[in-house]
Amino acid sequence: MRGIGNVCFWLAFTAVGLVCEMLIPRIDALICGFVLLLQECNYRTLAWLLPLFVLLQEGLGTRTFGGSIVWYAVMFLFFRIGERFFNSGTFVFVFFLSAAFGAASYGLNVLMAPLQDLDVNVEQLIDSSLAQAIFLPLSWCVTKYLRLCLPAGSQPNPVKAESLHKPNV
């Protein structure tokens, strides 16, 4: 039952994320799921969900062609760098990560715009980057709470913070 509950949760999360992306243009609502899976060290689920996220982002046009792969790679890099300085399960970590995501959103849009001969509207890019930075902590809190409300058999087994910082002896 654990596997079915996990799959159902992530499919429902993806559907709600797509609705959020339609309501709030130019954001990636699925990124908080990516962050949550990295926090849980749930790489098996990430292995099937990440290609789905990339395909959906490419199809929706949220990112320019090929930009979704770069976007998620940069987010993974920011996550790994950030968890060296902060406990990855805290709101402070997600807050700083969202600021980095907002800056990365701006940078990637500026970087990818010339590849498709798009004009760069700086005000629009700043607005969408701020929306992305504000959306992540809020959606992360809601998703993490909903994830904890799952039945005990379908909850993930998060890695304890103490085990992350112990040297291998």
Task: Evaluate whether residue 116 is within a structural domain.
Answer: yes
- Decide if 63 contacts 31 (C-beta within 8 A): no
Task: Evaluate whether residue 92 is within a structural domain.
Answer: yes
User: Can you give the pLDDT at residue 166?
Assistant: 46
The tens place of each residue's pLDDT in the chain, 169 residues long, gives 367 888 889 999 999 999 998 898 788 888 899 999 999 888 898 999 999 988 888 776 655 567 788 888 999 999 999 888 888 888 888 889 999 988 888 888 888 777 777 777 788 888 888 888 899 899 989 998 888 887 654 555 554 444 444 444 4
Is the pTM above the cut of 0.95?
Answer: no
User: Can you give the pLDDT at residue 157?
Assistant: 55
Alpha-carbon separation of residue 13 from 25, 33, 154 (angstroms): 18, 8, 15
The total number of structural domains in the chain stands at 1
User: Can you give the pLDDT at residue 2?
Assistant: 66
- Decide if 60 contacts 26 (C-beta within 8 A): no
Task: Evaluate whether residue 54 is within a structural domain.
Answer: yes
User: Can you give the pLDDT at residue 19?
Assistant: 92
Task: Evaluate whether residue 165 is within a structural domain.
Answer: no
Structural domain that includes position 8: 2-156
Task: Evaluate whether residue 34 is within a structural domain.
Answer: yes
Q: How far apart are CA 9 and CA 142, in angstroms?
A: 13
